[in-house]
Structure formats: C-alpha cells, structure tokens
C-alpha cells in the first residue's frame, strides 16, 4: 500500500485526465446527442435518415475501433493535428471519438424521452402557433430530458469507464488505467493493491454520479 | 360590416384509412357567433373541430379563416394557428410549466410581447377565470376544472379570432363541469366567436346562436337552439335527442 501511496501523484495525475476526458466528452456528446434527436424527430425525411444512419452505424461499432480510427486513422495516417503538443493532440482526438460514440447513446435515451411526452402537449403547443423548433425547444425536449435523467446518468457512468480505452486504442492519453499499467510495467508498485486502488478511484468518480443523477431525476420529474 | 364569414368550410372530406369521417362538410361561422356542434360519438364532430386549425389534415375541400385559406405547413400555418384558440378535452397544459408560464408562453414566444406585459395580461385573464391565486402552481397541482379554466385563459391570451372547444367538459368530474361552462357562457355573452363540440345540451340551449347536428360524418341539420331542441327536422336528430333527454 505504501508503494501505491508513494506514487499518489501519478494516480492523481491519471485520474485528472480521466475526469477531463469525461467532462469534455460529456459536454460534446450531449450537444451532438440533442442535435441527433432533433433530426430524428424532424418532419424532413432526409434529416431523419441521416441521423438514423449515424446513430445505428456508430453505436454498433466497437468503441475501440472508433478510437483507433480517430487515433491511427485520422490523426496518424492522415496527419491531422488538433493541438501543438502530442499530449493535447491525442487528448482532443480521444474526446472526439468518445463524443461521437457516446452521442448515439445520449440520442437514444432522449428519443425514448420524447416518446414519453403525450401528443396533447405537442398539439397544444402547435395550436398556440409555436413553430416546430420552438415546440421542440420549449415543450418537447425539456419534458423529454426530465424523464431520462436516470438513463443519462448511466450513459455518463459508462462514458467515465470508457475513457480507459483512450489509452489502448492508439491514443496514449495518460488517463488512470494507463498510469496503472505504467506503474505495473515499471514494477514500482505491487499489482493487487494498485489494482484495487485504481478500481476504488473509479468507484469514487462513478458512485456519486449515479446517486446524484438518481436524486436529480426525482427532483426534476414532471408530474402529470 | 364585411360580409365574409370568419370561418368557412367548403365540401371538406376526411378519411381515417377506410373510415370516411367527414363527408362533404359545408359550414360557415360569422363573427361573434357561437356554434355548438352536437351528435353521437364517432359522428366526426371532434375531427371537424381539429381540421379548422389543421391538427388534422383534410383530403378534399377548402377551409378559410378570415378569408385566408389554411396554409399547408410552416410559418404561415403557425401564424394562422395563433389566431385560432383551442381548448382540448384533456386540457393539455404544459406539465413542466407553471400556470402563469402556460398562459404567457404564447404571447411571449409567438406574439413577441414583453414578459412584463404578458404576465400582467395573464394575471388579468387568470383572475377572470377565477384562479389568479394559483398562478405559480404546476398543472398537476390543480383540479380538472381549474386546469381547464387555465387552458381557456391560455387560449384567450393569444387574443384569438375564434375559440374552438373540443368536448371541454367531457373529462371533468360532474361537480367541476359548471365552473367551466360558466366561463364559456360569459365569453359567449361578450361576443367571442366560438365553435363548441359538446354533450352539454344546457349550454347549447343557453349560449349557442346555432346548433349543428352531425351524424356519420355529415351535417344532418343546423338551426337555432330553440328550434332544434323543440322541433328537430331529421329522424336521426330526433333519435339522438330522445336518447339523451329522456332520462
């Protein structure tokens, strides 16, 4: 345990990257997820088609492949860089891959939420003269979002854990699981306690997330 | 006075799959007129009501509001709908918004009124329907009768040219029907143009200028309420009235 605690700076540095990956990807995947949901309920068939192809395509691709495509494919093979330092370049490519992937699950949750909004709400908004976009923004999505806070919490937990793939899939982001592997490789820490330590670290991140979203979902629930 | 009626329907046809729900409907409603539409279940009266602001599309014929044909889609349709108030059987108040927000959202977002002006007007309207003291509650905290009165205030806040009521009291507990009918009766007395689909014959007698009787997707007869209830001319209207008035 001493060896583990002696390397606490490495552990904390690892988890700081985990948190940064999670927060940035959560933000972008939420935005993209909302856009995809809006497209999937739009009256324009081409919009619906594009969003469906995207969601079904990416969500059924293993995340490792998505991240390899970003890292080895676009970043290395095509040489597209997003930042000057390698550290931040791979970070942003990992964020893009994680966001592109997670957005599908955000969108599927939100779409389930849209289906819980009674048709009467939409009709009432239409009869007031609200346009399609206003209807979506003011009436449908706020109610849909409130009904899927719990599922979105699960998506966020999955995202937190999925950040560990960002280091194995050709993108050497120094997040927690990579720090752990480095500590094993360098033989500076005993395996089992280190392993348990990192697992606890993830629990410390994800358990409160789950509790918070559970509480929030009750708090914002729409009474009918 | 202009001679154009406020609402006209000309030879309107509508199918739900195989079912022919509206068959060649001709109807015109003058400014300030209160038209009550009655008829047995499945006669097409709710559908008729919903075609007038295009919540249901039509397969044939033409509908005009204030001389303007109903637009098919887009902003033109949204603008037209803002002039046609609608009160639903199941109230359909926005569940995530307070009573006050329900009444102000249309004026603010569609009419582009300032929040202050919209709230001032909303409180006047809520006062008028007798629920100003509930302005900050959510719809689920109100009784059905109160919710329906909020729905009426929400429709009135848009200053519509015509108000449609689609069985506004059918989902209410009996003791709450009267409070909603009272509001509707006073609106009628003030000269609001109204098209009311209802089973409340008392309201039809008291407040209507004209009763339209529908059966099987057709307008069978229309007359002033006194004439209609005393001397229905068609056999179907006689049958219908004998069923609802005999007990």
Residue A194 maps to a domain? no
Q: Is the pLDDT of residue B1 over 60?
A: no
Q: Residue A102 and residue A28: Cα distance in Å, rounded?
A: 9
H or E stretch at B64? strand B60-65
pLDDT (0 to 100) of residue B196: 96
> Quick check: A128 and B105 CB within 8 A?
yes
Region B213-240: mean pLDDT is 92
pLDDT (0 to 100) of residue B101: 97
Q: Is the pLDDT of residue A13 over 80?
A: yes
Q: Is the dihedral of CA A121, A122, A124, A130 positive or negative?
A: positive
Region A25-53: mean pLDDT is 96
Question: Minimal CA–CA distance to B193: which of B207, B181, B179?
Answer: B207
Q: Is the pLDDT of residue B239 over 70?
A: yes
pLDDT class of A23 with cuts at 50, 70, 90: very high
Question: Minimal CA–CA distance to A40: which of A49, A31, A32?
Answer: A49
> Quick check: A124 and B78 CB within 8 A?
no
What's A35's domain CATH number?
Answer: 1.10.3720.10
| Separation in Å, CA A81 to CA A75, A98, A129 | 6, 17, 47
Q: Is the pLDDT of residue A222 over 90?
A: no
| ipTM at complex level | 0.91
- What residues make up the domain containing A164? 17-175
List b or e across A49-81, with b for residues whose CB sees 16 or more CB atoms inside 10 angstroms: eebeebbeebbeeebeebbbbbbebbbbeeeeb
> Quick check: A129 and B79 CB within 8 A?
yes
What stretches of chain B show up as alpha helix (H) in DSSP? Answer: 45-51, 74-82, 99-109, 115-128, 144-156, 174-189, 201-207, 225-230, 235-245
Overall number of domains in chain A? 1
Mean of pLDDT over chain A = 90
- What percent of chain B is modeled with pLDDT above 90? 84
- What percent of chain B is modeled with pLDDT above 70? 98
pLDDT (0 to 100) of residue A89: 84
Considering only residues A60 and A14, tell me which one the structure prediction assigns the higher pLDDT: A60
Q: What are the pLDDT digits (tens) for B27-60?
A: 999 999 999 999 998 899 999 999 998 999 999 9
Residue B179 distance to chain A (closest CA, Å): 22
Residue A143 distance to chain B (closest CA, Å): 7
């Amino acid at each position: 345990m001493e060896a583990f605690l002696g390397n606490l700076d490495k552990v904390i540095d690892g988890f700081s990257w985990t948190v940064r990956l999670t927060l940035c990807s959560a933000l972008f995947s939420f935005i993209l997820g909302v856009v995809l949901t809006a497209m999937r309920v739009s009256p324009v068939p081409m919009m619906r088609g594009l969003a469906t192809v995207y969601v079904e395509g990416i969500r059924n691709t293993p995340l490792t492949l998505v991240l390899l495509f970003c890292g080895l494919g676009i970043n290395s093979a095509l040489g597209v860089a997003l930042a000057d330092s390698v550290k931040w370049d791979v970070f942003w490519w990992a964020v893009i891959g994680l966001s592109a992937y997670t957005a599908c699950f955000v969108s599927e949750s939100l779409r389930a939420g849209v289906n819980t909004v009674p048709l009467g709400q939409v009709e009432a908004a239409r009869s007031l003269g609200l346009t399609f976009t206003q209807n979506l923004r003011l009436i449908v999505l706020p109610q849909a979002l409130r009904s899927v806070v719990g599922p979105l919490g699960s998506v966020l937990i999955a995202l937190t854990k999925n950040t560990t793939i960002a280091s194995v899939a050709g993108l050497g982001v120094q997040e927690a699981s990579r720090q752990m592997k480095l500590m094993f490789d360098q033989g500076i820490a005993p395996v089992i306690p280190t392993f348990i330590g990192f697992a606890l670290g993830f629990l410390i991140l994800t358990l409160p997330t789950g509790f918070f979203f559970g509480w929030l979902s009750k708090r914002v629930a729409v009474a009918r | 006075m202009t001679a154009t009626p406020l609402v006209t329907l000309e030879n309107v046809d509508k199918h739900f799959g195989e079912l022919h729900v509206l068959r060649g409907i001709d109807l015109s409603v003058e400014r300030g007129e209160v038209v009550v539409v009655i008829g047995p279940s499945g006669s097409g009266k709710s559908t008729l009501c919903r075609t007038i602001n295009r919540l249901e599309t039509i397969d044939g014929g033409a509908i005009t509001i204030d001389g303007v044909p109903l637009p098919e889609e887009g902003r033109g349709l949204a603008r037209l709908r803002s002039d046609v108030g609608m009160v639903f059987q199941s109230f359909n108040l926005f569940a995530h918004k307070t009573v006050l927000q329900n009444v102000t959202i249309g004026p603010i977002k569609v009419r582009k009124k300032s929040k202050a002006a919209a709230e001032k007007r909303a409180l006047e309207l809520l006062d008028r329907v007798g629920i100003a003291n509930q302005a900050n509650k959510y719809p689920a905290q109100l009784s059905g009768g109160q919710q329906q009165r909020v729905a009426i205030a929400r429709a009135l806040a848009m200053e519509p040219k015509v108000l449609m009521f689609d069985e506004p009291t059918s989902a209410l507990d009996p003791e709450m029907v009267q409070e909603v009918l009272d509001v509707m009766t006073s609106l009628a007395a003030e000269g609001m143009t109204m098209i009311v689909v209802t089973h409340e014959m008392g309201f039809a007698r008291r407040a209507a200028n004209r009763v339209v009787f529908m059966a099987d997707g057709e307008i069978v007869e229309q007359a002033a309420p006194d004439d209609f209830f005393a001397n229905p001319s068609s056999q179907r209207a006689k049958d219908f009235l004998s069923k609802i008035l005999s007990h």
